[in-house]
Amino acid sequence: MISREEILRRGYVDVKVFVTGLRQSHRLTIEREKTIHGMVPFLVCKFYIPTTELVRLAEELQLPVKHKDVVVFPKGMMPSTIAEKSAVVATAEADVIEAEIEE
């Protein structure tokens, strides 16, 4: 599994999630938001992912995950525990989505 530091360094992570019975590949990109605690990195998904899968991803990757109005933090973490002192600019590659049917 990829580490949190590696995700922050690269600026993105490719994940596999289940959406309405299909296993899909999504690229989540890092976007930093300014808060009173400092810059907080969020993994942002551009396409729909069910909340249960967002919770699983947040726990596995130990980073908050965001999609539209839904924000999920890993258990026991808040913006103040994740905030960075200085923001690092990261670049991301083009978005890719793959779908496959599992039997």
Give domain limits for the chain.
Answer: 4-100
pLDDT class for 83, splitting at 50, 70, 90? confident
Task: Tell me how far apart the alpha carbons of residues 74 and 56 are, in angstroms, rounded to a whole number.
Answer: 9
The pLDDT value given to residue 80: 83
Q: What is the pTM of this model?
A: 0.73
Nearest to 64 by CA among 30, 35, 92, 38: 30
**pLDDT at site 45:** 94
- Provide the pLDDT confidence category of residue 87 given band limits of 50, 70 and 90: very low
How many whole angstroms separate alpha carbon 44 and alpha carbon 30? Answer: 6
pLDDT (average), residues 40-63: 93
**Rounded percentage of the chain residues whose pLDDT exceeds 70:** 85
